[in-house]
Structure 1
């Protein structure tokens, strides 16, 4: 199964955000390359909010290019066998934490946001990744910093899209 086919199946089974879900599916139907960065009309990205539910906290990255506190995530790559695998790879690479596992049940949220040309949109498929009890984070080349924040602290450092992802993750937990 191709990454494109997997993305369509994942989105068809996702039951929340029906209008945005339809927009993603329409985009993939119109763009066979819609999972790749090269798709100038916009493309899927995959991200994961790294969570430590036992301690009531999430790990955010201070994104090097954007200067914003965000969940881990990025572009799908040719070796990714699924959107979930892409999200888990990105979370592992950017957090430095080995042994992350995705929260069961598929994506937690979808978030479509504009980006500068030559592309125009990121259609982010957002998961949650559970950190093991002994998790030790390590800053990657894509990040200026990593920091654990309590559930209720996120709103003071991150934008609304991250706050909504945290809220949806807590509801799923």
Structure 2
């Protein structure tokens, strides 16, 4: 199964955000390259909010290009077999934390414009192992753990919505 096929299947099974989900599925139907950065009309991306429930915190990255505190994530790569694999790879690369575990299925969808194109982000949540220690990657200016109630002060509404949706799944 191709990454494009996996993305379509994941989105067909996702039972929330009906109109936005349909936008994603229509995009994939119209664009065989819709999961790749090369698709200039927009592309599917995968992200993961890293949470440490035992300490009531999330790990956010200060994005190098955007200068904002965000969840980890980014473009799909040819080595990604599935959207969840892409989200887990991005979370591991950007956080430096091994042993992350994704919650089942996407938590939310978020469509936003970036300097390269529209991102049709499929958002997951990743549980950090107890005692996880982060390491800043080349893609980040900083990494920091924030208490759940601090997130709304440091980031945008999309990350707040992602956190709220994640907390209902824990």
TM-score (norm 1): 0.97
1:131-150 matches, within 5 Å, as 131-150=128-147
Number of the residue aligned with 1:34: 34
Alpha-carbon distance between aligned partners in 2 of 1:115 and 1:32, rounded to the nearest angstrom: 21
1:48-87 matches, within 5 Å, as 48-87=48-87
SS in 2 for 1:54: helix
CA root-mean-square deviation: 0.6
1:110-121 matches, within 5 Å, as 110-116=109-115, 119-121=116-118
Number of the residue aligned with 2:108: 109
CA deviation profile, 1:101-121 (whole Å, cap 9, x unmatched) = 0012x00000000123xx430
CA deviation profile, 1:4-57 (whole Å, cap 9, x unmatched) = 000000000000100000000000000000000000110000000000011111
Number of residue equivalences: 170
In structure 2, the gaps of 5 or more residues are none
Number of the residue aligned with 1:172: 169
| The one of 137, 158, 161 aligned to 2:158 | 161
Number of the residue aligned with 2:5: 5
In structure 1, the gaps of 5 or more residues are none
TM-score (norm 2): 0.99
SS in 1 for 2:132: coil
